[in-house]
Amino acid sequence: MSNNLKVGLIGFGVAGRVFHAPILTQIKGLELAKIRETKPENIAIANQKYPGAQIVNDSQAIFDDPAIDLVVIATPNTSHVPLAKAALLAGKHVVVDKPFTITSHDADELIQLAEKQGKLLTVYQNRRWDSNSRTVRKVIESGLLGNLVEYEAHYDRFRNFFRPGAWREEDLPGSGILYDLGAHMIDEVQYLFGLPQEITADVRIQRKGGKTIDNFDVVLHYQQLKVTLKAGMLVREPGPTFTLLGDQGSFVKYGMDVQEEALKAGIAPSEVPNWGEEPESIWGTINTEHKGLHLVGKVKSEIGDYRGFYANVYRALIGEEELNVKPQQARNTIRIIELAMRSSAEKRTVRYE
C-alpha cells in the first residue's frame, strides 16, 4: 500500500460536508479522490471546495475504483450497513459515521466481515478529540478529585420546532437523539470507564407532534460509580455540560467544544491559528482538597482537534499506530443504546449483556 491513500466519501450532506471532508483533507497522506452526491446544491459546494475530487452519483463508482483505499460513509443511519458491507466486499477499508449501526447484531456482522476481508473498520467518534472530552480526561487522570463517584454529562439544545426534511426527526430506525447525541456520550464513557454493569433509562418524545426520541436520561451503573447522561431539545437555559464528583472534590464545566460551530461556518482547521482553543469564559472550575491544600479555581481547557481521528486512521493503515476507535467499542455503544431503550420501555434497570 502506498503511503498516499485515496479516499472515497459517500454522502456530502451535513455529515460529509461539515464533519468529514474538512477534517480528512487536512491529513497529509489522505487524498479525497471521489465524492458520491446527488443533490445539486451539495454538488456545487463540493466542486467549489474540493475541485480535485471527482463527483459521482453512484456509490458503486467508488467501490469499483481500484485506486480507492478508504471509503467514508456519511449517509443516513439506515444505509450504514449495506454500504459498509459493499465497501468491505470490494476490498476497501471503511470509516462509518456514528452511530455505527442500528442494531448490535448488524455491528457484529460488519466486524466479522472486516476481519474476514482483512480490512480496517472504524466509526467516526470524533468527540474523543473535542476539548470537553480531553479536559475531563485530564481532570480524572490527575487524581485531584480523589475517588470518582459521579459523572454527569449533558448535551442539551433548544429547538421547539422540527426541521423540514430532517430524517433524524422522522419515525425511522436509528433516528432520534439517543442514536445521534447519545452515541457520542456513551462512547466517551465507555472509553473512560469500560462497560457498565447495569443500565437505567428514561427516553421520551417531549415536543408536541414529535415522531422520535428527543429527550433521554440514561444512568450507567458501575461498581462504585454512577454515570448519568442527559440530552434534550427543550433546554433553553443550559446547565453544566459536565459535573464530576469525587471524595476529594468536584469539577464543573459549562459550554460546548468550539470546533462544530467553526466547521458549520465553513472554517477549516488550517485557516485559523488557534483551532479548537476554548475561550476562558467556558473553562471548568475545580474545588478540591489535594495534599492538604484547598484548591479552587479555573482549569484551562485542553485544545480540541478532530483531525486526531483521521490522523490515527491514516497511521493505523500504514502500520505506525494502533487504531483508537475500535469497531467492538462502537458495537458496544449500540448495545448500550438497545438496552437503554429496553430499560425505558420496561420501566426497570437491566443488566448489560
Task: Report whether pLDDT(167) > 80.
Answer: no
Q: How confident is the model at residue 11 (pLDDT cuts 50, 70, 90)?
A: very high
Question: DSSP state, 183?
Answer: H
Phi/psi zone of residue 266: left (φ > 0), alpha (ψ -120 to 50 degrees), beta?
Answer: left
Instruction: Report yes or no: 9 and 32 within 8 Å, Cβ to Cβ.
Output: yes
Q: How confident is the model at residue 2 (pLDDT cuts 50, 70, 90)?
A: low
Task: Report whether pLDDT(92) > 70.
Answer: yes
Joined together, the cell numbers standing for residue 104 give 448490535
Which listed CATH number (3.40.50.2000, 3.40.50.720, 3.90.1150.10, 3.30.360.10) goes with 127-308+336-351? Answer: 3.30.360.10
What is the crossing angle of helices 327-346 and 177-193, to 10°? 120
**C-alpha of 186 from chain center:** 9
Joined together, the cell numbers standing for residue 260 give 462544530
Query: What would be the CATH architecture of the domain defined by 5-124?
Result: 3-Layer(aba) Sandwich (3.40)
CA distance 64 to 67: 9
Instruction: Report yes or no: 221 and 197 within 8 Å, Cβ to Cβ.
Output: yes
Q: What is the pLDDT of residue 77?
A: 93
Joined together, the cell numbers standing for residue 161 give 420546532
For residue 330, give the H/E element and its range.
helix 327-346
Instruction: Report yes or no: 9 and 35 within 8 Å, Cβ to Cβ.
Output: yes
The CA R_g of the chain, rounded to the nearest whole Å, is 20
Tell me what percent of the residues of the chain surpass a pLDDT of 70. 99
Mean pLDDT of all residues in 271-294:
93
CA distance 244 to 153: 9
Task: List pLDDT tens digits, range 33-81.
Answer: 999 999 999 999 999 999 999 999 999 999 999 999 999 999 999 999 9
Task: List pLDDT tens digits, range 205-230.
Answer: 999 999 999 999 999 999 999 999 99
Per-domain residue ranges of the chain: 5-124, 127-308+336-351
Q: What is the pLDDT of residue 170?
A: 81
Q: How confident is the model at residue 3 (pLDDT cuts 50, 70, 90)?
A: confident
Task: List pLDDT tens digits, range 103-161.
Answer: 999 999 999 999 999 999 999 999 999 999 999 999 999 999 999 999 999 999 999 98
Task: List pLDDT tens digits, range 314-324.
Answer: 999 999 999 99
Tell me what percent of the residues of the chain surpass a pLDDT of 90. 93
Instruction: Report yes or no: 267 and 298 within 8 Å, Cβ to Cβ.
Output: no
